[in-house]
Amino acid sequence: MSLIRQIWLLVLSVVLLSLLGSVAVSTGSLRQLMQTQLQLKNSDNATALALAMSQQGGDAELMSLLISAQFDTGAYESVVWKRNDGSVAFERHAPPLVSKAPGWFRGLTPIQTQAGVAKVSNGWNAAGSVEVRSQSAYAHDALWSSTLRSALLLLALGSLAGLAALAVLRRIRKPLDNAVAQANAVVRGEFSTVDESKVPELQRLTGAMNSMVMRVKSMFEAQAEQLQVLRQQAHCDALTGMSHRKHFLAELESALARDEGPSHAGLVLLRLRDLAGLNQSLGHVATDQVLLAMARAIQVYPERVHGCLAGRLNGADFALWLPAPRVAAETAEALAEALRASLPAFGPGIQVALGAIELPRERAASHWFAQADVALARAEAGTGVVVQALVTPEHERYLQGERAWRLQISEALQARRARLLEFPVIDRERRLVHLECPLQLRLDEQAEFENAARWLPLAVRNRLTAEVDLCAIALALEANGHDEQWRCVNVAPASLLDGGFVARVRELVFHAPQAARRLGLELAESAATQHFDLLHELGRQLRPLGVRLGLEHAGAGLAQVERLYQAGLDYVKLDSSVVSGVSGDAARAAFVRGMVIMLRSLTLKVYAEGVRDALDVQALWDCEIDGVTGPWATGQLIKP
């Protein structure tokens, strides 16, 4: 039984006992008063009747008439005239009246009075005595009526006291409920403070809870800062702070493998020529300043454009990957202009070669670098800051216009020419955690199903992602209803910008409540960094219905989300660029372990994406990861 309920029952018991005690005392006092008054009435009436009879000169008839008259005018049970020898000279009796008071009440409050007795005389001679006894039913009726009025009045007062106590208890309970909600929020990884209560005892409680929450929050923030340090050590070049070669290559391969993004992208390679000669002529310090100037010019793009990747490949080489078509050559020229303006300040003889290419995203990373190296080699043939760009042949681009693509995607969605692929996420015991279910569309009735990498970029540009995601969610709910498996589908961050998207998802969920309890929605990390409020609202609307919410392709950006503890997530999937090669790199393993610790403190499950190597899998298990997915996981599942 709760504390508030115990207090409420205690208050109610005290009020009821006070009420019953007050009624009992009042009834007892009134009963005593009634009994005394009835006794006085008997005595006074007997005295008055005896005086009247004494004045009749001993006339028995007249005295009998007086007794009858007195009996008929009062509520008497009996009036008896006795002679001196004790014999009855005259008497009148009436049956006891039936009281309106309940029998149990009469039994609890008996009224017993002695009959009134007075001497009757005839001159100086005694003529006997008269005995008068009144009916007690009227006294019980009056006592019952008075008791009812007192009980009703006290009940009303007791009810008012109970309501006042209830209001006070609610006032006391509110800060207690706030404290409970605050503690539960901490368990969910949410750190919020509440207004301090005006009740001194509860004020200390809420103050202590707020202090605890702020301390836990500061610990989380300190952990995030420590994670940033680990990231710098694991992924970044010590001089420039850019991604080093290994991490840049992992990031590039991850970006090329994703479904979202444009169909074509650009890569720019920069090389500071004759690095050894510059070290001799300018000195190491000045040469480092040149490298930092190049890094600052390159880093402008990742800071301003989401999805850009920048890295230092080796001592003299830098790379910039641009997730947009037809911008590689323009970006390379802009970088060249910036370097021509800044590098001469460090001394003469500084030469930089820039090679820019643009390719379809489905090409392998090795092909990207092979083509970029060709462009870079051509640039090195010149002097100064030189740019060479290789233009993608037009026949490699999509020949049909965006309008045709929009029609094909819309028709495929309307005709339900769609299906979900299934890739397992497994835990340490190789048991199924859930199924990743990317969507495929058959854009033409005669064609094959195509992966999202081909048509999703065009769906984003034509604002069709909401329709695509709703189709995937509907297919997942149908499949969940048949085999009761957990399925997770991708939701594009652009869908959150559609005002009616969440409401339409709720409608789908309401029509399949059981299947919805085995549904997960996954959004890219950019949803948390760019559309945090929309992500939070999505979780607030859908998680109470049983839908799980997760982030995929997560990496260093998580530590930059200021309110990650309020996002309302269930799990996070670390990007393959973060977990790749973790078995042979202690710094990367330390970063992954730090990420797991931070996310676990927010009660989130942590999974790894794109795992290929068995050694990496074992290293991830050592980092306490909850599950893995990728080429290694496919075929490893132990079916129940």
Residue for token digits 């009726």?
Answer: 141
**Per-residue pLDDT, 609:** 93
Structure tokens at 279: 């070290």
Smallest CA-to-CA distance from 372 within 398, 351, 390, 386 is with 390
To which residue do tokens 């997530």 refer?
569
Count the neighbouring beta carbons within 10 Å of the beta carbon of residue 550: 20
Give the pLDDT score at 441: 92
What is the per-residue pLDDT for 567? 78
**Tokens found for residue 503:** 């409401």
pLDDT tens-digit readout, 341-355 = 999 998 888 999 999
CATH architecture of 239-396: 2-Layer Sandwich (3.30)
Q: How far is CA 100 from CA 26, 105, 143, 416, in A?
A: 19, 10, 10, 83
What CATH number does domain 3-159 carry, 1.25.40, 3.30.70, 3.30.1380, 3.30.450? 3.30.450
pLDDT at 395 over 50: no
- 394 has pLDDT over 50: no
pLDDT tens figures, 102-140: 888 778 888 877 888 888 888 778 888 989 888 888 787
Mean per-residue pLDDT, 546-573: 81
pLDDT tens digits along 502-550: 999 999 999 999 999 999 999 998 888 888 889 889 988 999 999 999 9
Q: Cβ distance 83 to 128 under 8 Å?
A: yes
- Considering only CA atoms, give the Rg of the chain: 48
**Which of 411, 389, 524, 534 is closest to 468 using CA atoms?**
411
Angle at 628 between CA 622 and CA 630, to 5 degrees: 130
* Distance (Å, whole) CA 120 – CA 67: 12
What's the average model confidence in pLDDT over 589-615? 89
Residue 160 pLDDT:
84
From CA 189, how far away is CA 108, in angstroms rounded?
64
Counts of helices then strands in the chain (DSSP H, E)? 20, 20
Q: What is the pTM of this model?
A: 0.67
pLDDT averaged over the chain? 85
Instruction: Place domain 403-628 in its CATH homologous superfamily.
Output: EAL domain (3.20.20.450)
Q: How far apart are CA 75 and CA 65, in angstroms?
A: 17
pLDDT digits (tens, 9 = 90+) for 361-372: 888 888 999 999
Residue 637 — very low, low, confident or very high, per pLDDT cuts 50/70/90? low
pLDDT at position 461: 78
Q: Is the pLDDT of residue 391 over 50?
A: yes
> Which pLDDT value is given to residue 192?
67
Say if residue 152's pLDDT is above 70: yes
The Cα angle at residue 372 between residues 370 and 378, in degrees rounded to 5: 110
For residue range 471-483, what is the model confidence (pLDDT) as tens digits? Answer: 999 999 999 988 8
Q: Is the dihedral of CA 188, 193, 198, 199 positive or negative?
A: positive
Residue 561 has pLDDT above 70, yes or no: no
Over residues 286-302, the pLDDT tens digits come to 999 999 999 999 999 98
283's tokens: 């000195």
pLDDT of residue 521: 95
Identical fold for domains 3-159 and 403-628, yes or no, is no
pLDDT tens for each residue of 24-42:
888 888 888 888 888 888 8
Residue 563 has which token pair? 């309110």
Smallest CA-to-CA distance from 620 within 587, 584, 590, 582 is with: 582
Closest CA to 181 of 195, 200, 169, 167: 195
Q: Rounded to the nearest 5°, which phi and psi values hold at 191? A: -115, 105
User: What's the pLDDT at 632?
Assistant: 92
**Among 45-59, 188-202, 318-332, which stretch is predicted with the lowest mean pLDDT?**
188-202
Lowest mean pLDDT among 63-67, 242-246, 431-435: 63-67
Mean pLDDT of the 320-330 span: 90
In tens, the pLDDT along 422-469 reads 999 999 999 999 999 999 999 888 888 988 877 887 788 788 899 999
CB 528 within 8 A of CB 561: yes
| pLDDT for the residue 399 | 42
Least confident of 164-173, 422-431, 554-563: 554-563
Tell me, letter by letter, the H, E, C secondary structure of 98-110. CCCCCHHHHHHCC
Predicted confidence at residue 164, as pLDDT, reads 82
Which among 436, 440, 393 is positioned nearest to 419, based on CA atoms? 440
For the chain, the domains span 3-159, 239-396, 403-628
Which residue, among 400, 504, 415, has the nearest Cα to 462 in the 3D structure? 400
Q: Does the pLDDT at position 397 exceed 50?
A: no
